[in-house]
Amino acid sequence: MPKHETPLLDQLESGPWPSFVSDLKRQAESRTQKQNDIEYQIPVDVVDDLLGLLELSYVEKEVHWKHGGIVGVFGYGGGVIGRYCDQPQKFPGVAHFHTVRVNQPAGKFYKTDFLRQLADLWDFRGSGVTNMHGSTGDIILLGTTTPQLEEIFFELTHNMNQDLGGSGSNLRTPESCLGESRCEWSCYDAQELCYQLTMEYQDELHRPAFPYKFKFKFDGCPNGCVASIARSDLSFIGTWRDDIRIDQEAVAAYVGGEIQPNGGAHAGKDWGPFDIQKEVIDLCPTKCMWMEGGKLKINDRECTRCMHCLNVMPRALRIGNDRGLSILAGAKAPILDGAQMGSLLLPFVKGEEPYDAIKEVIENIWDWWMEEGKNRERLGETMKRQGFQKLLEVTGIPADPRHVEHPRFTPYIFWKEEEVPGGFERDIADYRSRHPK
């Protein structure tokens, strides 16, 4: 028997898509059933009360979680988010309902024994409710009490060799796509760079010392499956500098209809026979491709590596061999001054260990932003406030036409004194000697 009636939530059990309400009910029921076998360390009815509280929100159309609360594990300033409900008498099981962020492995591959151990730990010391995964990429463990936090951290680190993720004004848990592990388009080992930088900057991840949050995300290619260009303060996107590798036999097979275009992605509708002119060459944004004597030609020097032709003909076209990555800076969601896309900062760097050139860019940016950034100001906003030139100055990266969509509209150039012969100190007497009053 459920503890609370949930007539509104019950209506979210119907329909084909996996129902989170059914999942939570299953979790609630299992705790009730197993309570004699497991010495649950937080209230047995935690998930029942979660459903009850959520039903109340569905009735009232208002949220019932209180604002924050500073809890955590000793020596860390992030990784745990305090959460308390504002109806603890009615729903004592969720009076405390803190979140624990667990740093996911890059690319989110798992062995089942690891997740089984985590499931057992979380069943025992928390609500058993998870998010696989949170928006930033962590494994999210939803709902435990304050006394359990150190115990969970102790077991994670001692028994599972596993650390927490980031929260608050620190380096947030870096995230990568699955990279070279299962994708032919990955231009660098996105998972390895993600792991190495996560390890290099453990202090910045666990101990908030920044003006606001800071995110790293790693996309293996310009397709951008982890959306780094839209949501990370530093976005690392794979690219190449040489020629697309062409297999002309495979091109002919696509043209002849022997291979389905786009890896079969359009198989659900009859789009007619594949037309390489219409579907590839005409859609190329730089018009750098053409057919000649039955062969596909590419003027690679004019190619901007948008990936469209590779996406359409993955068996005929492959990324180049001189591979690396571009670094873009300053992306963020709209809070506060509007959304920002990442701006290209470093057009190309090799993605090879020990990644010193990449670390230099990161640390130069942090030195500047930690000094100049205002409270709760993302890197992109500091960039807007102080200008892109400042970013180039602090990173020592020379200005390049690749940095702009087009040159500036306004002629209001902030010349520096040292750029103008004679400097800015003017002598009015000298002026008046030529221009009497």
Partner 1 sequence: MAFISSGYNPDKPMENRITDIGPRHFTEFLPPVIKNNKGKWLWHEIIEPGVLMHKAESGDEVYSVRVGTARIMGVETLREVLDIADKHCDGYVRWTTRNNIEFMVDSKDKVQPLKDDLLSRKFDGGSYKFPIGGTGAGMTNIVHTQGWIHCHTPATDASGTVKVVMDELFEEFGQMRMPAQLRISMACCLNMCGAVHCSDIAILGYHRKPPAIDHEEVDNLCEIPLAVAACPTAAIRPTKTTITDRKTGEEKSVKTVAIKNERCMFCGNCYTMCPALPLTDAEGDGLVIMAGGKVSNRIDAPKFSKVVVAFIPNETPRWPSLAKCMRQMVDAYVKGAKKYERFGHWAERIGWERFFEVTGLEFTHHLIDDFRDPAYFTWRQTTNFKF
Cα–Cα distance for residue pair 421/282, rounded to 1 Å: 51
By beta-carbon proximity to partner 1, the closer residue of 343 and 395 is 343
Question: DSSP of 250-308, one letter per residue?
Answer: HHHHHHTTSS-GGGGTTTTS---S--HIIIIITT-TT--EEEETTEEEE-GGG----SH
| Rounded-to-integer distance, Cα 274 and Cα 313, Å | 11
CB of 413 to partner 1, least distance (A): 19
Q: How far is CA 275 from CA 247, 250, 261, in A?
A: 18, 14, 10
Smallest distance, Å, CB 402 to partner 1?
13
Q: What is the CA radius of gyration of the chain?
A: 28
Of the pair 135, 433, the CB lying nearest partner 1 is at 135
Nearer to partner 1 by C-beta: 88 or 105?
105
Choose between 120 and 371: whose C-beta lies nearer to partner 1.
120
Q: Alpha-carbon distance 216 to 233, whole Å?
A: 6
Shortest Å distance, C-beta 347 to partner 1:
14
Our CB check for partner 1 shows the closer of 65 and 348 to be: 65
Parallel/antiparallel/unpaired status of strands 99-102 and 139-142: antiparallel
Taking the least distance from each CB to partner 1, the nearer of 382 and 394 is 382
Per the CB < 8 A criterion, the answer to whether 359 and 333 are in contact is no
Which H or E element spans position 392? helix 388-395
Least separation in angstroms between CB 423 and partner 1:
33
Q: Rank residues 74 and 414 by Cβ distance to partner 1 and give the closer one.
A: 74
Nearer to partner 1, 358 or 394 (CB): 358
Q: Which of left, alpha, beta for 358 (phi over 0: left; psi -120 to 50: alpha)?
A: alpha
Token pair 């260009």 is at which residue? Answer: 229
Least gap, CB of 394 to partner 1 (angstroms): 25
Least spacing, CB of residue 184 vs partner 1, in Å: 4
CA distance 316 to 249: 8
Cis preceding-peptide flag for 105 (omega within 30 of 0): no
At position 41, the amino acid (one-letter code) is: Q
Q: Of 334, 140, 330, whose CA–CA distance to 228 is shortest?
A: 330
Work out how close the CB of 42 gets to partner 1 at its nearest, in angstroms, rounded to a whole number: 8
Of 20 and 290, nearer to partner 1 (C-beta) is 20
Asked, as a colleague might, if the bond just before 133 is cis with ω within 30 of 0, I would say yes
